[in-house]
Structure 1
Amino acid sequence: MGIQIECYDPRGAAVYDIITRQVLQDLQLSRAIDDLRIWVDPREPVFIIAVKTQKTSEPIHLEDMAEMEVDKATGSIHLRIKDETYLPQLLERLWETQGRGRVRQPSRFEVIIEDPVSGITGMTVHDPSLNLKKRVYDAIFRIIPEGFRVIRDLSEDNLIALVCTDEVLRDEWVLKAKEIIDGMR
């Protein structure tokens, strides 16, 4: 992982390098990041951060971990769990989409959805890329200077980029961020 920090003040850049490395270590993100660049100018004040993450494994869908059967008489959906690795995430997703009261788990390998409110075919149970993005945003918000709450998000795919300030966002800062992003592709 490469970290590049641009700042007119070398001591300020060194401090941000320490902060960034510490946050990434604390959140165990160091190995998940290919490239990280920060451009900061406290005189303006502007803080630009761009993070390129590694590609993650493919999402896990319902059909990857369970066999589904619909009870014609009651309309309930019976799931026979083949792989319980992501069972907690499956239950969480079912509670979100169907309501907790409709989901029963009579055994480790069986889940029943009574009177389903929506279809569950193809449901994404676990998405590693989404999980990684959430963790990277968490890291970024720990790194951004306190009070810099005017933010433009320029993220796309596996590149997360934010322009931050405590004033009105200037077009030239957004252009600088796009320049940084282009350099990371």
Structure 2
Amino acid sequence: MLPENELSQQSVPAPFMGGAALPVRNVTDYESGGIALQDPSEGLNYQVWRARVLNNGCDIVLNAHEVAEFTLISGTDITEVSLSFDQNMRPVVAYVEGGTAKLYWYDSSQGAQVITEWPGVITPRVTLDDKRQLQSGVSDVIFAYLKDGNLYCRQQRDRYQTEYLLHENVNSDGLIKIGMHKQYRLQFLLKS
């Protein structure tokens, strides 16, 4: 959760926790999640899930310790992936296909998973900001990215329709990852 939809005035860096603590590449991401898709019964920190771009950029494949590998999204020229889950353990995936950022998410108004395109966006990343059960009423999936040299985010509660400016003139080539750190704050890791 981003209070007032703004970054804090004081930076408090700390190591990432859970799946976000694992090293990522553009084509591999890790996220803590539940026991199975659409099953949050054991909480959202039950196991670490992995998303990978495979088959020469044609598939985004997911797996976890207790879940066999399966293809979630197929396309062409997929070059980046970022994985999260909403509070109901539905996948939320930010990815780049053919140079265009896309978001795969559950749209409650349509009752289905949808894909939304975001032209002009680079390094799209997603995370459920707080996976603790006691925060389920206020937690949110955050979709963050760079555009025109600025850091922005959108939130699931707005159905990703409202763009929030977090920081102007970011001196970076993009986001590496976002996620909760060990002091229970949402952290953004930028490329230097």
Normalising to structure 1: TM-score of the pair? 0.28
Larger proportion of strand: 2
| Bigger helix fraction | 1
